[in-house]
Structure 1
Amino acid sequence: MADSLVIVESPAKAKTIGKYLGSKFIVKASMGHIRDLPKSQIGVEINNNFEPKYITIRGKGSILKELKDARKKVKKVYLAADPDREGEAIAWHLAHYLELDETETCRVVFNEITKQAVKDAFKTPRKINLDLVNAQQARRILDRLVGYKISPLLWKKVKKGLSAGRVQSVAVKLVYDRENEIKAFVPEEYWSITARLLAGTTEFEAKFHSLKGEKKELSNQQEVDEILAGVAKSEFTINEVKEKERQRNPSPPFITSSLQQEAARKLNFRASKTMSVAQQLYEGIDLGSEGTVGLITYMRTDSTRISPVAQEEAKEFIQQKYGEAYYPETPRVYLKKAANAQDAHEAIRPSSVLREPDQMKDHLSRDQLRLYKLVWERFVASQMSSAVLDTMTVDITAGDTIFRAVGSKMKFPGFMKVYVEGNDDGTTEEDKLLPPMKPGDKVKKQQIDPKQHFTQPPPRYTEARLVRALEEMGIGRPSTYAPTLETIQKRGYVAIDEKKFIPTELGELVIQQMIEYFPEILDVEFTAQMEGELDQVEEGKEDWVKVLATFYESFEKRLEVAEEEMEKIEIQDEVSDEICEKCGRHLVYKMGRFGKFLACSGFPECRNTKPIVKDIGVTCPNCKEGKIIERRSKKGRIFYGCDQYPGCDFVSWDKPVDRPCPKCASMMIEKRNKNGTFHQCIQCDFKEEQQEKE
């Protein structure tokens, strides 16, 4: 007969924990939060110390009745929601609903869902941490004040359905500012000169470095022609050879933001997908004979700390699998990445390094396996020895000119045997070996290749870059990144083009109004300072009501000024030349979640809409009559299809190219990899030579 009730958030977590605890425990799921602020009103008594007015979330009635009935049958209740602010708040709300004593030791937390971790947690239950609860309440109320006070103003002055948010507005402004930087960017010309040289029978490349002993940047063709004339008849002689050994250290184990960034780079996962799959791995996977096990530690963390037990297990595993040389002399300890890191949990790591990814293939879905492999490899590599590379720098003289060749070779792979961190540019560090050379050697000139370049504007934000920017600026916390990126897309403030964020016209309009009337909300330093004060609440060093009162004092004044001075903006629909095929009126351009689309000007009487078609200038290879056009899926992803649809069902995720394959005459498509773009046939194995990535 069960004598204890355990409440967690999800059925998957309940199932895993129930197997570990046995028949004396009833394990139920609350399905997340059970109470929240009402959607229909602000739900905060501002003049009564910001007292929140919580209501039961609609649809939770049957779940709450089930929990209350189970409560009557047991002597003890344990609240085992996730080990963060949200989890603490869920536990607090449950304690209120079930009328538990706040001084009771009813809270259990664990960083990983394994049998030992869960059993250890139940040996040391604690009271609900009211500082954590107050920190969550303060954030929720602060976001409610910003959202529910500014949004109605935007509805009245700009357009219905708009919203503003404390973190989301900063994210949109970053995208908006970057787009303005790109528009204002003036490209500057520069040149490079590459010499292809032969040492013995080995060809290698050297780049122009300096002239008459001084390093020189080449800015125009005249300077290049002078260099070319000077080396045209010159011998190429080895002037100096420098060889040295350098070490490369591993990256720390994952925190939430770095996991999202690396999953975007290597797995092409959106931040929301990364967190969803990570949640599944954390809550538990059925491993057959081993039962259900949580495969990774908690995935919302800003700490790179590793438990001594996990570190010791990693040490034994690395030494046994790779050899003694692959483990450093002393265990690796990683410092906090940021001064405001809370360090409340461990880094994201496998719950046991002994569960190698290859052993998990039969138990995990493709996405689960790929993410687990990423976490496992990153953790193992983080505990391994440094890689050792031999580098070689060779200066070659030709008259008054010096060309430089740089190469390296792996001397000892260390952690790179398991994993190497990606980067946002998609490039990787590769060995480039140089032939043996010594000062005085002559090398033969094969070809001199001058090339014109232009400086590039700063890149648009990908999800990975935007998460990194928010983290570096101290905006938001691990749990906020994924939902923030989702929100700004759903609101139609940003769109995604080639996996990069661009501001929509609507987003630009809202940000311009916010900049003028609510500059503090968009100010990075101010927002980061607010995050710091909320963290102080969590640590029990600040009173949450005082923090809110200080913020609201100046915010209220801003609201009054905006209410009086913000002019109403009439957004006129741009009329197109196209006629609605249903009612004969003109179609107008509208702004939606994924950019502009066409809608009937007779709305709401006529609700006809159609996408804006972008012809890419390629004839359909299927029907030979239609044109290939760019379309967007329901989720906003670009694809390519025939304009004769549904008569022709040709479709491609890859962009078709306007010329046939030279080998079989089939259609070519544009593909992209770490080195840039290239063209590939859809039928045969023909692949066009890589196009250089500037």
Structure 2
Amino acid sequence: MVKIRYLFGCPNCNGPIDSERLLKGLPCESCLPGYSEALDIKAIYDLLVKNSTLKSYAELYYNFEMYEELSSLFKKIVGKEPWPLQKYWLRKLLRGENFSLSAPTGIGKTTTLMVYSIYRGETTLFVVPTNSLRDQICQRLKAITPDVSCGNPEDGKINVTSFYSINRNTEKYASLKPKVVIVDDADMILKSGKTTERIATILQIPQDVFDKAVQLVKLRRILSFKEDRELSQRVRELEAQVYTWRPVTQFVVSSATLRPKGSKQLALRTLAGFEPSTVQIYSRNIIDSYQDGLDLVNLLDRLGDEGALILVSRDFGRAKVKEIVNELNERGFRAIQAVSGRKFMDKFSSGEVGYLVGSASYYGVAVRGLDEPKRLKYVIFYGVPKTKLPLEDSLNNPFTALRVADALSLDVGNLRKKVLLLSPSEVQAIKFALRNSETLNGKLEELRKSLSYLKENVIEVLKSKKPSVLKLDNFTVEREGRRYFILIPDAITYIQGSGRASRILHNGFTLGLSVVLVDKPELFEILAKRVKGLSYDTEFKKFNDLDLDSIKREVTESRNGGSRSLDIKTALIVVESPTKAKTISRIFSRGVRRELYGVPVYESIIVDKNSVIVANIVASKGHVTDLTTEEVGYYGVEVDNEIRANYSPIYKCYNCLKTITKRVDSCPYCGSTLVYSSERIINAIRLLSSDVDEVYVATDPDQEGEKIAFDLYALISPYNKNVFRVTYHEITKNAILEAIRNKSWFNLNAVNSQLARRIEDRWIGFELSSALKSIIGDQNNGSGRVQGPVLGWIVDRTNEYKRNTGWMVYVKVGNYVIRRLFKSKAEAEDFVKRLNVKVLKVGEREEVVNPQPPYTTDALLIDAYNRLGISAPLTMRVAQELFESGLITYHRTDSIHISPLGVNIAKEYLIRSGLNQDFQGRSWGESGTHEAIRPTNPMDLNDLQRDIEENPFKYYIKFTWVHFKVYDLIFRRFIASQMGPAKVIYGKFRVTLTGNDEELIEVPILVEGGFSKVYPVKVYSLDGSEVTSSIRKGSSVPLLGYAEVIKLMKEKNIGRPSTYAKTVTSLIRHGYVIETKKRSFLLASKRGIKAYEVLRNNFAEFVSESRTSLLVDTIDKISKGTLDVDVFIKDLFQEVNSGIRVLINSPELKEQI
């Protein structure tokens, strides 16, 4: 096998190292000569010390040693090994990282932080929300160490205090200059800007730095919806000043539910490098049920068991909570109100009372502050938990206004199109302007006026129609007296509240029962749907259908050691794009974002039955290495007894956007020092991998993706031995879970095929480019085997087009166009004068036509161009974004196969649309590595746009009309492929233009039934009374368009789905081809014609169609393991040296130069 050498990969000296050594966890041969077998970390460290070659490996070893030391202390204090999640936290704590701990009560967050505080032995500040919690933690700490201070600031000790004390004694705590600040319940910070600023002072953030961070946040907000060059420059200056500050105090946050919104809170997030975690659903062991009506007493009688928490929907008011407590006590149910403090909980835990009653408020103590795993068994919701908002205020949200207007049958079609194309920041700007009666600029002001009018119109219609309830998909609008309110079911509060009855005990989740007493059935339907979306295995059952005796028995057993076990582990998931990282994070939970070396990292919770993965998700941003352009070997590849391909990190210049594949301090093209290296990403991934149990490399399922995966696998291996390949063809919850369940090994044949293609591209491309540069005369020249034939087609067609130009007459008969070319404009004008169009129908025939298969890459590119006029590069970019957002399956495919899941998606959609009689499921051939391009949900364009309205921040892309058109095209073609045939009637017409100029035409004139209901076939109407004509310059031979080029590439076996669009883009970038503005035709430039002449006259055998097609077949053989990559590269080396290089050095070519 070809040896891959990373010129920067050694974990010790950062120098050259072969992939084999990396995979064994070893440093390079220079650092550790004579050793080729795997060794453990300590053995490697000792040998490096012995050889006097120890460098960066020391950090890896010291982190390992410190963790072993801390783990030993943990075991000594706690009496058992830390759990996987605690190990993960301990490693991050040891590195001094600022981060947020996110886990349910019982996992051991507080224990972990206490052990770490003792291990540090330095001044630490432990901030908690209440004095009772302060006293509990102090008591536990004092049982282990005397170095604890409760409420009084003391240097060199673990200071445990409350937010109240912090706010009163900020200067005293700041004077301690603590090394670590731990905050339990970060919502106390996020709710108050003053508290945020005080915490910043204690964190030793200089006031001027904090003020600049606040200013930076405010300016970024303005820039998000307003372009301003001066403001942009000021933002860059502030970023430079803010980011040069380095934290001196470690900042750790435990548990939070709010996202930072205020300027001060966002400034603290910017300076700390992470955002506090939001609610994370690890697992639920809850039986979800419901009962119509609000008969609470009857329900409790039937339940016949104490240990229930009753949560009263907030719209009933606080008085209702007290009323229920009094009524229950009068009827013999020992109940108490859940309020702040510990007394009510102590009474409940001791059995003095049997029922707790509180408000169903997300931030209330009854929903978030209770942890009594043994005693609390049931949660009863008195009324559907809901949020109630005045309609008039809610209508400031453009999407809410559109949805309510829809429900009132107001025409908002045009306005909806405009709003759907807004970015999230533009939506926020309009919302803010409507709320505060302010004006905006340009298109945003026009939209603000339209939405302001719509808001008034909605209110007027409601006043006139006076409906009592309007039911929408995600909320209801209800009238109370003369006012209207929006009611939104609170799914998060339901999940959090019901989760009080399912806590971690005996290393597993206890079983709980939840009952919703339904006061508003239409709102409960929405709640059930939203809860299922958040916790997808949730199904509500009728309370009357439950076997209560059996459930009560299981509930009790789960608290006596029979709880459902929970397997928690940590993982790193590496994907290619930031959008994909955010999408996967969003699918499973509200991902927590932080930065490592400036690289965004998203922490998310992936739940699969009893298995929980705390996952860090990071993007590699494509390839992290490429064949080097350093002076080594033959264009980066050494060929002697063995073959060594040398790879460098990838550098990107922010100024000229050029890519560089050798180590540089400044851009060799423009001289800018604003150069970004993929080493930063690699270092972040290496560091993250050292924290977790397993690493899943989840790059794209093609040859390029496999090479990226292998590079990451090799570079990660010294830091984590449990590295796996996971592949998926759609970004959905089920697809990701299935990929992780079926984690596998890396496909080395696919890696070799990519390696072979890259080397071939480098050798042939660089040699041909060198010749072109010498002859044509500047640096922007290049060619490869695939580009050569494609350039030839475009040049030949351009020449034919020019040879056959003249004046084209377009005769439009009905909606059918007939063309005639004339050499002179006078002839064309004379023809138009003589036009006497007559249409005679001479026959018709009927044909049953089957639907076309779903899209492959080439078919999508061709149809997008022909039907929508969208260029191939733009279509591929949009398809990539749709895939990364989880809306379609993988878009680089030559398969038309549809999986059973895909067939079911079509079936569900057709049944829902009343077209179940047209369903005709088809798998379209044998399953293979890939599937055709299809939607991932039974969601047509209208459904997608409604989804965006209801969840404006769900997708991490800015939708344009192109996104909607391409999605609609993919969706309709797929649904049509799962439907029955259509009946097509073809009409045959004789069309006479002038006396002796006639044409016989057969076209579809009627299409009925089957797939045509969703995928229309164009029909023609040749009406002789509707004739128009026009004259334009033209040619009898049309220029090639993207569609024809891609079709030729497919037919002639040149290129693959991943290269169709790239090939043409590359020719345009070199200036060989021009894309016409109106129709996106491809026209060869003078430069392109000259370049092709050089290639054809001197290197024809290397850029011919047959040779290029043979190369594609050869690469396929390598990918299947039927051809040795070494043999191919050695043959190629011989071919280049005996062919191209001989030609380049020939007298004939030198004469041209």
Q: TM-score, normalised by structure 1?
A: 0.64
Alignment-derived partner of residue 143 in structure 1: 761
Partners in 2 of 1:452 and 1:276 — Cα distance?
Answer: 36
**2:954 pairs with 1:359:** no
Deviation sequence 1:223-267 (CA, Å, 0-9, x none): xx9xx9xx9xxxx9x9x9755321233222111122222222344
Alignment-derived partner of residue 326 in structure 1: 918
Alignment-derived partner of residue 964 in structure 2: 369
* Structure number having the greater helix percentage: 2
Partners in 2 of 1:502 and 1:204 — Cα distance?
Answer: 28
Query: Contact between 1:158 and 1:570, CA under 8 Å: does it hold in 2?
Result: no
* Cα 1:506–1:325 shift into 2, 3 Å: same
**2:627 pairs with 1:37:** yes
Deviation sequence 1:389-442 (CA, Å, 0-9, x none): 234558999xx9999786764362322222247xxxxxx4325599xxxxxxxx
Partners in 1 of 2:815 and 2:878 — Cα distance?
Answer: 45
Partners in 1 of 2:946 and 2:1128 — Cα distance?
Answer: 50
Partners in 2 of 1:14 and 1:402 — Cα distance?
Answer: 60
2:1055 aligned counterpart, secondary structure: coil
Query: Contact between 2:578 and 2:621, CA under 8 Å: does it hold in 1?
Result: yes
Residue 487 of structure 1 aligns with an amino acid whose one-letter code is S
* Cα 1:324–1:563 shift into 2, 3 Å: same
**2:954 pairs with 1:388:** no
**2:1090 pairs with 1:494:** no
* Cα 1:270–1:408 shift into 2, 3 Å: closer
Alignment-derived partner of residue 256 in structure 1: 857
User: How do 1:545-564 and structure 2 match up within 5 A?
Assistant: 545-558=1126-1139, 559-564=1141-1146
* Pairwise CA distance, 1:377: 1.4
2:930 aligned counterpart, secondary structure: coil
Deviation sequence 1:308-341 (CA, Å, 0-9, x none): 121133124224424344234xx335459xxxxx
Alignment-derived partner of residue 47 in structure 1: 640
Query: Contact between 1:33 and 1:90, CA under 8 Å: does it hold in 2?
Result: yes
Alignment-derived partner of residue 130 in structure 1: 748
1:106 aligned counterpart, secondary structure: strand
How many pairs does the alignment contain?
506
- Among 298, 301, 308, the alignment partner of 2:890 is 298
Deviation sequence 1:94-115 (CA, Å, 0-9, x none): 1111126999670000000100
Query: Contact between 2:851 and 2:977, CA under 8 Å: does it hold in 1?
Result: yes
* Cα 1:177–1:46 shift into 2, 3 Å: farther
Alignment-derived partner of residue 710 in structure 2: 92
Query: Contact between 1:77 and 1:106, CA under 8 Å: does it hold in 2?
Result: yes
Query: Contact between 2:882 and 2:888, CA under 8 Å: does it hold in 1?
Result: yes
Higher-RCO chain (CA-CA 8 Å, sequence separation at least 6): 1
Partners in 1 of 2:1138 and 2:895 — Cα distance?
Answer: 38
* Cα 1:142–1:473 shift into 2, 3 Å: same
Alignment-derived partner of residue 571 in structure 2: 4
Alignment-derived partner of residue 457 in structure 1: 1036
Alignment-derived partner of residue 1110 in structure 2: 529
Alignment-derived partner of residue 412 in structure 1: 1008
* Cα 1:248–1:557 shift into 2, 3 Å: same
Partners in 2 of 1:80 and 1:204 — Cα distance?
Answer: 49
Partners in 1 of 2:1145 and 2:682 — Cα distance?
Answer: 42
2:1075 aligned counterpart, secondary structure: strand
Partners in 2 of 1:191 and 1:462 — Cα distance?
Answer: 20
Deviation sequence 1:508-552 (CA, Å, 0-9, x none): 112111112211232111101110110111111111222233334
* Cα 1:333–1:569 shift into 2, 3 Å: farther
Alignment-derived partner of residue 785 in structure 2: 166
* Pairwise CA distance, 1:486: 1.5
Tell me which structure has the larger Cα radius of gyration. 2
**2:1019 pairs with 1:429:** yes
Alignment-derived partner of residue 345 in structure 1: 930
Partners in 1 of 2:764 and 2:937 — Cα distance?
Answer: 43
* Pairwise CA distance, 1:56: 2.1
Deviation sequence 1:561-600 (CA, Å, 0-9, x none): 33123445779xxxxxxxxxxxxxxxxxxxxxxxxxxxxx
**2:689 pairs with 1:71:** yes
Query: Contact between 1:319 and 1:326, CA under 8 Å: does it hold in 2?
Result: no
* Pairwise CA distance, 1:33: 1.3
Residue 919 of structure 2 aligns with an amino acid whose one-letter code is Y
**Could you list the runs of 5+ residues in structure 1 that have no partner in the other structure?**
197-202, 208-220, 285-293, 337-341, 422-427, 435-445, 572-694
Partners in 1 of 2:1029 and 2:704 — Cα distance?
Answer: 59
* Cα 1:464–1:81 shift into 2, 3 Å: same
* Cα 1:409–1:429 shift into 2, 3 Å: closer
Partners in 1 of 2:754 and 2:852 — Cα distance?
Answer: 31
Partners in 2 of 1:474 and 1:122 — Cα distance?
Answer: 34
**2:1086 pairs with 1:505:** yes
Alignment-derived partner of residue 200 in structure 1: none
Partners in 2 of 1:242 and 1:14 — Cα distance?
Answer: 58
- Among 886, 900, 908, the alignment partner of 1:308 is 900
**Could you list the runs of 5+ residues in structure 2 that have no partner in the other structure?**
1-84, 86-568, 589-604, 607-612, 652-676, 819-826, 953-957
- Among 270, 275, 282, the alignment partner of 2:883 is 282
* Cα 1:265–1:98 shift into 2, 3 Å: same
* Structure number having the greater strand percentage: 1
Alignment-derived partner of residue 614 in structure 1: none
Alignment-derived partner of residue 8 in structure 2: none
Query: Contact between 1:135 and 1:544, CA under 8 Å: does it hold in 2?
Result: yes
Partners in 1 of 2:1047 and 2:1128 — Cα distance?
Answer: 27
1:305 aligned counterpart, secondary structure: coil
Alignment-derived partner of residue 108 in structure 1: 726
**2:873 pairs with 1:272:** yes
Partners in 2 of 1:66 and 1:453 — Cα distance?
Answer: 59
Alignment-derived partner of residue 475 in structure 1: 1054
* Cα 1:478–1:152 shift into 2, 3 Å: same
Partners in 2 of 1:204 and 1:479 — Cα distance?
Answer: 37
2:725 aligned counterpart, secondary structure: coil
